[in-house]
Amino acid sequence: MGNMISIAKTIVESSELSTTYATNGDISLNAASQVKLRSTEKIIYDQYKAPATKEKELKKFLVHFRRPADYKGEYGFDWLRDEYIYAINYIERDNNNQPCNSTMPLVSDVAAAKKEYLKDVKSPVKPYGVDYYPAWLSLFPYTSSQQFKYGSSMNKDGARLDLELEEIEEVISDGTEIIFESKNPNLKITPQKVNIAALMGSGQQTRFRPGGVKVKYYTLKGAVTVVNANAPLQQHEEIKVFAKLGNKKEEVGKLMVYNNHVIPKMELILVKVGTQANSLPAIDQQLVKDIEYQFKRGSYNQALIRAEIKTDTIFETGVLPLTDHDVTSYWNNVLGGAASFNEQQFLEEVIKLYEKYGQHKPNGGRINADANKRTYIFLTDLPAGFNGIAAAANGDVIKEFVWGNAFVVFLKGLNQRRTLLHEAGHSLGLQHTFSAGQPTAGLKPPPYTFYQGHTDNIMDYTWQTNGNLNPYNAKDNMRSFFKFQWDIMRQDRSLILNY
């Protein structure tokens, strides 16, 4: 309470808020409100005592790390987004194309999603009893080759992240400091503290959760930079966040940083498949560079996998001997025309032929054998058969076929960054974000599934089951791999650990 005065006998207190009838005896009135005393009774001041200066209360809030809006996949960043677990997005049709027509969480199993985002968290926190799910960051260590052979300058400048302050109660600019602590000297965050005034200066925003719940928050863009230099992280590390006012200090957030002492390599072989005896033009070198850049710095780096296009080559099937049954079988399929063309068969036959005649075939082995450490991307100008042609009419659909360590990209996919990255994701063991698992593929099912076409994940589709476009695709923003996918891909048999 504020200043108080003691009065005796019966009076009426009228303030803006209420009218209080007081009887004989002392009553406390808040002098800060507009009090009018209608009684002629004397106010007795002699019992008034100024309260001791109270320590300022630390206001309750959470702090989250967030990815900046102009993120292009240059490091890994993942977090449990509100729409995954709260009914925020309107879902018209489910993944089986059955009508939903309701607002629902984007994941099938909210409890599984929450559990997944707490997996590997070093020391989970529950500030003020509120569930807290730290964001995950993955960075290449910036090291000299003496310090660490597999380091890179890729994330030399680190990741510049936004900070979000989520109110539990209304905050005020009271000098509270938000302090970051990293125990690992090779993992640095700058600045090491931010005044609450800086966050509040960004202006309060509101978002909604079901049941009319308003979440009030502030976002300071580019507030902190996180760098890992001099040595890799041997284990997942954490950056703790504290709120501090006077001698009050509370842990109010956390950033998890993925360990990076193992950097697997993914070797890609780009093979342009020709279907005429005429000599094929080599693959445009700018295209090769662009593809490599996207693999290396816009996608697989998120899983701390170093992607490299080992070679690009052409494979002219028009010159292969027709005495070979595999060659004639292949031609029967290719020349069969759109109505009978079988894309899966095409992939399998191309693999078979490449294993016999290809210039960069795996040494003594099969492309789909465990010993093969290369991923083969077959590019063809052929349209993807009947379905592909039908799909081509609406512009952006590509038939996709993945088989172990190889995949084929048909006509429409050749110029689509996302398609190449997406297919390579399958070959590293990832399923679609909306797939509950394909047992025939022998892949581990994802921990939960999303509704198709609602996320920015590379393994999502660019359209929803109702035919609407994925909103992230419209902004060319489907650039994410999620943390559970980093875990899966890093285990793939085709990756090279010693190089």
User: Where do contacts with Zn ion occur on this chain (CB under 5 A)?
Assistant: 400
Q: Which is nearer to Zn ion, 259 or 435 (CB)?
A: 435
What the block records as the tokens of 377 is: 């991307």
Element (H, E) at 296: helix 285-297
Taking the CB of residue 486, how many other CB atoms lie within 10 A of it? Answer: 19
Give the single-character DSSP code of 438: -
Give the nearest distance from C-beta 422 to Zn ion in angstroms: 5
Smaller CB separation from Zn ion, 182 or 462: 462
- Minimum separation from the CB atom of position 425 to Zn ion (A): 8
Peptide bond into 264 cis (omega under 30): no
- What count of other Cβ atoms lies within 10 Å of the Cβ of residue 400? 18
Choice between 30 and 368, CB closer to Zn ion: 368
Instruction: Return left, alpha or beta for 283; rule: phi > 0 is left, psi -120 to 50 is alpha, else beta.
Output: beta
Between residues 152 and 449, which has the closer beta carbon with respect to Zn ion?
Answer: 449
Distances (CA, A) of 61 to 81, 178, 189, 251, 330: 18, 11, 21, 10, 64
Question: Residue number with the shortest CB distance to Zn ion?
Answer: 400
Please, what is the minimum distance in Å from the beta carbon of residue 95 to Zn ion?
A: 13
Q: Which is nearer to Zn ion, 117 or 346 (CB)?
A: 346
Closest CA to 166 of 214, 224, 211, 212: 214
- Work out how close the CB of 215 gets to Zn ion at its nearest, in angstroms, rounded to a whole number: 34
CA dist., res. 157 & res. 161, Å (int): 12
First to last CA, the chain: 69
Is there a contact between 191 and 179 (Cβ–Cβ < 8 Å)?
no
Of 96 and 123, nearer to Zn ion (C-beta) is 96
Question: Between 13 and 400, whose beta carbon lies closer to Zn ion?
Answer: 400
Residue (of 156, 155, 80, 145) closest to 115 by Cα position: 80
Closest approach, Cβ 342 to Zn ion, in A, equals 18
Q: CA angle 221-222-226, nearest 5°?
A: 140
Type of residue at 183: K
Classify strands 406-409 and 374-380 as parallel, antiparallel or unpaired: parallel
Smallest gap, in angstroms, from Cβ of residue 377 to Zn ion?
14
Which residue lies nearer to Zn ion by CB, 259 or 387? 387
Minimum CB separation from Zn ion for residue 426, in Å?
A: 6
Q: How far is the CB of 432 from Zn ion (least distance, A)?
A: 5
Strand 61-66 versus strand 27-30 pairing type: unpaired
* 154/161 Cα distance (integer angstroms): 16
